A = this chain, B = another copy of it.
Amino acid sequence: MDQTYFKKILADLKRGLISEEKALSAIQNFSYESLGFATIDHHRQLRQGFPEVILCEGKTPQQISIIAKKIVERGSMLLATRASKKDFAAVRKVVKNAHYKTDARTITANEPKLSPLTKRMILVVTAGTSDIPVAEEAVVTAKMLQQKVETMYDVGVAGIHRLLNQSDKLHKASVIIVVAGMDGALASVIGGLVRVPVIAVPTSTGYGASFGGIAPLLTMLNSCAAGVTVVNIDNGFGAAYAASLIAKS
């Protein structure tokens, strides 16, 4: 981050020019950077514990690369979701150490090298193979937020023994992210088996009356298992972000 900004505050504080309170406020108000088309919220890391993340959809490759550069310049980690290969190509030009993960559609840089923040494990489960891209977005996100993550894929309720036989793994998790499309029933079943928070992510896989994810979204909102909360359709990022807040609490 911008060292000068903080150095001056601390110097002023030391010299008694400003109070401790004032210094803290200045730091916390340290704020946004205006690029015309974007107002980067650098303050977020201080306020929420995690830096700003770029949702690529709806932005041009050029806009993404400029924002990415600004974030990386401050030494922050970079996470961009729903990124196309074209977006990555643009970012790559200005952020040399950026990585792209095809199935997760994520661009990352300055990945945390430290060990996970806590011993708590976030388990990411999918009902089917088609749900994996959304699950992988969650995996990448949680790792960037320095969480410990494990996965259990393709264990939908149509063959429930696949799930029940791995109940040990379920019981080891501190938070479980359930990614499912079509009938979305997996969230309710897992929600009824465990005693930890379950975050359900409906996916837009499926066809016909799944209506782009409305079917599993409704299923999950109506889950008869208490302790299940829901995020937007295909929002692997949001689920992992919330799971990380829970795990590090």
Q: Which residue, of A49, A161, A226, A233, has the highest number of chain B Cβ atoms within 10 A?
A: A226
Q: Is the CB of B161 within 8 A of A37?
A: no
Chain B residues near A193 (CB, 8 Å)? 47, 160
Chain B residues near A220 (CB, 8 Å)? 183
Contact of A183 among B174, B197, B219, B241 (CB under 8 A): B219
Chain B residues near A210 (CB, 8 Å)? 218, 222, 232
**Copies of this chain, how many?**
8
- Of all chain B residues, the one with the shortest Cβ separation from A231 is B229
Q: Known interface pairs A160-B192, A238-B226. Does A204 touch B208 (Cβ–Cβ under 8 Å)? A: yes
Q: List 17 A-B contacts (CB under 8 A).
A: A38-B154, A39-B154, A43-B159, A44-B159, A57-B207, A58-B131, A157-B185, A157-B225, A158-B223, A183-B185, A196-B249, A197-B246, A209-B232, A218-B219, A227-B241, A228-B231, A229-B229
